[in-house]
Amino acid sequence: MKFLGLAVLLTVPLAAQAQTPGPAETATIAAIARVETLNPKVNAVIALDPTALDQARALDRQRQARGPLFGEPVLIKDNIETRGPLPTTAGSLALKDNVTDRDAPLVARLRGAGAVILGKTNLSEWANFRDGASISGWSAVGGQTRNPHALNRGPCGSSSGSGAAVGAGMVAAAIGTETDGSITCPAATNGIVGLKPTVGLVSRGRIVPISHSQDTPGPMTADVRTAARLLTAIAGSDPEDPATAEADARRVDYAAALDPAALRGARIGVLRWATGNSPDMKRVFEAALDVLKAQGAILVDVEPPKDRDSLGSAEIVVLLTEFKVDLAAYLASAAPAVRARSLADLIAFNRASPRELGLFGQSLFEAAQASQGLADPEYLAARARSLRLAGPEGIDAMLARAGAVALVAPTAPPAPIIDVVRRGGGGGVGAGNFAAIAGTPHLTVPMGTIGGLPVGLSFLGPKWSEAKLLALGHAYEQAAKAKPEPAFADSIEATPPVAALLARPQ
């Protein structure tokens, strides 16, 4: 993959260079310049699309019927296929030649709305589903993505590059994917907006999968309005993805539904138990609740569901089983140059690659390989149990007990230090796993900082409630004004306010 820079302009005929760039080309040139300046610090972008400027110029030539995302540069997570010369790798060297030259349906929708596909973002390899002790934000293809607020901190995963690129200000819009936390955690950790839609609102076609029960793409953006605009563009039915059968009937103009007064009179369930044991998280969360109340929201405390601690054990059986089956189906249609056509092939490839297994193993791959398929009684029981605990006895029950239109909770802890010894990537706070397993929407909006590191406020609702969640999140965003600016410091300890406190008194 070649990294496109502004030098590409030198290859354009002089007559074309002399012409004043149109708005789409101007926006694309500016985005490329920001990536060139900022990406060496955070390593969020794997490659820029060498057709990006051609896309922009073609859009500028359109004098009519310019789409709602006209000229908007959008970065795409590198487990999503895009037409053109860039491979879709999921961060793995096994897929480094996976040039399919076809758009995922959601990418085709972005192009149809007038977006410029700027390039591909790094991710936690295989969407953080290779090993239980992986390093969040690292892939063999892309290396380590860093948090723009403190470069020794992780970006969370698996949509780490999309989160860090938007958080750094390279673009205002990127696409991520989530199975459980992979949009919302990196969004919160990088100080941006992230939306995991209802499973089935956006097509999963031509995306490297983990689980057909839980996977969904979604927007990761600088603000709620941009998330709403992107969702309006990418939502819709896909005949090749049965889960999206209702999408056309359910989708609306999400940006048109935004309302700065949406919190007035809205009854919202509060998950105070989801703050964990952190006094700092409780303090920031209480401040966010004060904002909600000041905007007219009616807050109702909600107790945690029973048996919530057993959600994870049922979920992992589902994910391991579906990963083996769904990945085999994807590999069957991969580019001819890809040799691996099964999970067993990938396991063997990794064992032969020092770079792949140099930092951590592939325990999840090996466990998935041992799974027994979609007819296995253990899988069927686990799927039924996880759905019941997360849906009817989880999200649905909490909403009903509070008589609420939505629930709020902290999204995730502040970003941990990148650590190749202890590894890990955060987690342990919030209630997003209920939404992930139940397939319901989950919006996170910047809530403030803890020690200079961003944290997010989650809005959770029933299926197909994206318009309501976005409206509530937009109203909170406009009132709270809590979006942090990236410091690009080597560490939080090196930022001037913290360094001054750590220094010896003079």
**Catalytic, out of 134, 136, 158, 237:** 158
Query: What SS3 class is residue 409?
Result: strand
Q: Which tokens belong to 147?
A: 């948090």
- The tokens 């009903």 sit on which residue? 400
The residues that bridge with 48 in the sheet, in sequence order, are: 119
Q: Nearest 5°: CA angle at 449, between 444 and 454?
A: 50
Q: Are 124 and 425 in contact (CB under 8 A)?
A: yes
Q: Which tokens belong to 164?
A: 């860090």
User: Quick check: is 92 catalytic?
Assistant: no
Closest by Cα among 377, 338, 329 to 92: 338
User: Superfamily assignment of 22-502 in CATH?
Assistant: Amidase signature (AS) domain (3.90.1300.10)
User: Quick check: is 182 catalytic?
Assistant: yes
For 358, residues 6+ apart whose C-beta sits below 8 A from its C-beta are none
* The pLDDT value given to residue 17: 52
Local confidence pLDDT in tens for the 506 residues of the chain: 444 444 444 344 444 455 899 999 999 999 999 999 999 999 999 999 999 999 999 999 997 789 999 999 999 999 999 999 999 999 999 999 999 999 999 999 999 999 999 999 999 999 999 999 999 999 999 999 999 999 999 999 899 999 999 999 999 999 999 999 999 999 999 999 999 999 999 999 999 999 999 999 999 999 999 999 999 999 999 999 999 999 999 999 999 999 999 999 999 999 999 999 999 999 999 999 999 999 999 999 999 998 888 899 999 999 999 999 999 999 999 999 999 999 999 999 999 999 999 999 999 999 999 999 999 999 999 999 999 999 999 999 999 999 999 999 999 999 999 999 988 665 557 899 999 999 999 999 999 999 999 999 999 999 999 999 999 999 999 999 999 999 999 999 999 989 998 999 87
Rounded Cα distance between 307 and 24, Å, is 52
For 22, residues 6+ apart whose C-beta sits below 8 A from its C-beta are 56, 57, 59, 60, 61, 71
Q: Are 68 and 23 in contact (CB under 8 A)?
A: no
Rounded Cα distance between 254 and 441, Å, is 14
**pLDDT per residue as tens digits for the range 8-39:** 443 444 444 558 999 999 999 999 999 999 99
Torsion sign across C-alpha atoms 301, 305, 310, 315: negative
**Catalytic, out of 160, 182, 211, 237:** 182
Q: Are 466 and 197 in contact (CB under 8 A)?
A: yes
Rounded Cα distance between 393 and 397, Å, is 5
Query: What SS3 class is residue 12?
Result: coil
Rounded Cα distance between 236 and 201, Å, is 6
In 10 A of CB 380, how many CB atoms? 14
The secondary structure of residue 211, as a DSSP letter, is: -
**Catalytic, out of 77, 120, 196, 463:** 77
In 10 A of CB 374, how many CB atoms? 14
> Alpha-carbon Rg of the chain, whole angstroms?
22
The residues that bridge with 75 in the sheet, in sequence order, are: 119, 174
Q: Nearest 5°: CA angle at 256, between 252 and 261?
A: 120
For 379, residues 6+ apart whose C-beta sits below 8 A from its C-beta are 317, 318, 321, 371, 372, 373
* Sheet with 298-301, edge to edge strand ranges: 45-48, 116-121, 73-77, 173-178, 216-221, 193-196, 442-450, 453-460, 406-410, 267-270, 298-301
User: Quick check: is 158 catalytic?
Assistant: yes
Q: Are 453 and 461 in contact (CB under 8 A)?
A: no
The residues that bridge with 177 in the sheet, in sequence order, are: 217
Ramachandran angles phi, psi of 446, nearest 5°: -50, 130
Give CA 84 to chain center in angstroms: 23
Report the residue count for the chain.
506
Q: Which tokens belong to 256?
A: 């048109």
Closest by Cα among 115, 365, 148 to 226: 115
The secondary structure of residue 429, as a DSSP letter, is: S
Cα distance from N-terminal residue to C-terminal residue, the chain: 52
* Interstrand relation of 453-460 and 406-410 (parallel, antiparallel or unpaired): antiparallel
Query: What SS3 class is residue 492?
Result: helix
Closest by Cα among 256, 265, 259 to 231: 256
Residue type, 72: E
Rounded Cα distance between 356 and 348, Å, is 11
279-294 and 466-480 helices, crossing angle to 10°: 100
In 10 A of CB 240, how many CB atoms? 11
